[in-house]
Amino acid sequence: MLAVVVAAGLAACTPDAGPTTGPPTTTPVASEAPATLDPAASALADDLAVEIVQTRLDWGRRVLSLVVSAPDDAGSEAGANAELTVVAAALDSPGWDGTRATDPDRTVTVGPGRTRSMFVTLGDARCDPRPDGATSPGGVARLTLAPGVERDVTVTDPYGHLARAWGEDCARLGAEAAVALTIGPDVVAGTRDGVATGTVSLTVTPLERPAQPVVVTGVRGSQLLAPLGGAVGWSDPALAAPAPAGSTVALPFTAVRCDRHAIAEDKRGTYLGIETSRDGVAQPLFHVRLPEATRSNLLLWYADACGWEG
């Protein structure tokens, strides 16, 4: 009897091995289906057009408008009430290393006969090598449509904004690889033949080892910086052949107009146009904005020269 009790006790103290387990099992996750448009929206998307526009205000900021439109009969087979929501847009162009949205949260709705704009800032220019004979880089608008469908639309550029912007950017990069351009903060008041004049200064300093054979050949005036005698700009031998430590050139100007409101609202008058040549070949005109201190002093000069009160 004792042997039976002990055996029973040992059996009670033996750990339970538990149920036999096999390899872990996983529940397959269904992959998400790619986003699609309904037939009406898809038909409308096939008819989208994108045009490049740049306003005077956006020119200095290097911002482009991607004007998205659809003709009146766009997607007609799917119904006149079809709509598309554009949630993002970018410009893919060989002339720049990309663009960024000026307002990432902006969305627009496009339908037949409607036009809406998305805005992008140009990235760094790609200038070398250029395709033989290329005058404009062209580009494709990459549109993201709700609910996440992407459509590429070849842009049209009837006003030549891409060609001009590309030329300006590449001319600027070429000049920056050869010289440093510095506009002084002061606006020096004076008179000539009884006419009030102001003078700003531009210092051209050659780089020690210029990466580009570029020289500055002239400076172009503006509505607020009108060269004396009706000239369109200033020229000086020191611009093209500055001293090793830099040469400073005086740019005297006069007021073309004294309309206070127009001067305050001017979009391009505080930019100087820079003329350059590379290997003896004239490059596109590019612009340099006056520094903030110079702009403030320019308005003070106008206030005095034009007799503004208050």
In this prediction the pTM is 0.81
CATH of domain 40-159: 2.60.40
* Integer Cα distance of 249 and 263 in angstroms: 25
How far from the centroid of its chain's Cα atoms is residue 228's Cα? 34
Instruction: Write the class of the CATH domain 177-305.
Output: mainly beta
pLDDT digits (tens, 9 = 90+) for 246-277: 999 999 999 988 999 889 888 899 999 999 99
Domain spans of the chain, in order of start: 40-159, 177-305
Give the pLDDT confidence of 219-252 residue by residue, as tens digits.
999 999 999 999 999 999 999 999 999 999 999 9
pLDDT tens across 129-163, in order?
Answer: 665 556 789 999 999 999 899 999 999 999 999 99
Sheet with 149-154, edge to edge strand ranges: 108-110, 84-92, 140-145, 149-154
**Residues across the chain:** 310
In this chain, the answer to whether the domains covering 40-159 and 177-305 adopt an identical fold is yes
